[in-house]
Amino acid sequence: MTDLVSYVFADGVATLTMDDGKANAMGPGMQAALNAALDRAEADKALVVLTGRPGVFSGGFDLSVFKAGDPRVTFQMLTGGAQLAQRVLAYPHPVIASCSGHAVAMGLFLLQCADVRVGLKTGATFQANEVLIGMTLPHFALETLRHRVTTPHLPLVGTASAYAGDDAVRAGLLDEAVAPESLTAAVMLHAERLKKAHPASFTATKQRLNAPVLGAMPAAIDNDIADWKRLGAAQA
């Protein structure tokens, strides 16, 4: 579809591949490309496989936007990330995250919004690193983590502990960890299984499963917007 996100539709499955040639940073451009791809997938009534370039799913928000210091663009990026997470949670068909490598910060939060999360046993780190780089975890991000991370691990994940492989599965950050050469096959097994689900029943069940996090998201996003506006005013 764009230089940032490719779209391949076949046999009811839309594969959305993020690739900015680097860390798949979640800047405004990547967010716009993902939203356009999701628009197309929804029109195709497609099961979505969301993946990244080899070695990286997403490294999180675009740090160059923060460094540029334009409050308007920073605000756009942060609110856009929150709304993208909300959109994936509400997408009416299955979403499988084929986590092709590292998932950090916003990349990790988006990963938690997929219905099925398959990642790598080796060569991938899963981390919410905000407190290490002078940021506070956004309210919306905490809601995505609460949605999937097991209770004993939530404080560790929220305070920047790094996970990998089977430890990420035990923490609830992944549903399955496989060898890199087995990732595509493992994802396709889940896709074939989910294609057999009755569409209306799947959608209704997904809505019920995600109701707590979707119900909490609007207030979380409002709180984040208020925080980001105060921060922007303080920096002006």
- Which pLDDT tens digit goes with each residue over 139-195? 999 999 999 999 999 999 999 999 999 999 999 999 999 999 999 999 999 999 999
Closest to 161 measured CA to CA, from 126, 136, 188, 195: 126
* 220 contact partners, CB below 8 Å, separation of at least 6: 82, 138, 139, 140, 142, 143
Domain assignment present for 217: no
Determine the residue type at 102: H
Q: Which CATH number goes with the domain that contains 44?
A: 3.90.226.10
Q: What pLDDT is attached to residue 234?
A: 62
Domain assignment present for 210: no
Mean pLDDT rounded to a whole number for the chain: 95
| DSSP-assigned beta bridge partners for residue 6 | 17
Please state the separation of Cα 151 from the chain's center in Å. Answer: 20
What would the pLDDT profile of 54-66 be if each residue is shown by its tens digit? 999 999 999 999 8
Residue with tokens 């940032």: 4
Residue with tokens 């979505």: 48
Q: 23, exposed or middle or buried, with CB in 10 Å at 0-12, 13-18, 19+?
A: buried
Q: Which residue has the higher pLDDT, 230 or 213?
A: 213
Q: What pLDDT is attached to residue 236?
A: 52
Domain assignment present for 163: yes
Domain assignment present for 97: yes
Total domain count, the chain: 1
Half-sphere exposure of 108 (CA within 13 A, CB side): 32
Domain assignment present for 229: no
* 85 contact partners, CB below 8 Å, separation of at least 6: 109, 110, 113, 140, 141, 144, 217
Token duo for residue 181: 């050469």
Containing structural domain, residue 165: 5-180
Confidence of residue 2 (pLDDT cuts 50, 70, 90): low
Domain assignment present for 144: yes
For 199, the 3-state DSSP assignment is helix
Domain assignment present for 145: yes
Domain assignment present for 234: no
For 146, the 3-state DSSP assignment is helix
Q: What pLDDT is attached to residue 70?
A: 86
What would the pLDDT profile of 3-29 be if each residue is shown by its tens digit? 999 999 999 999 999 999 999 999 999
What would the pLDDT profile of 64-123 be if each residue is shown by its tens digit? 998 888 888 989 999 999 999 999 999 999 999 999 999 999 999 999 999 999 999 999
Q: What is the pTM of this model?
A: 0.95
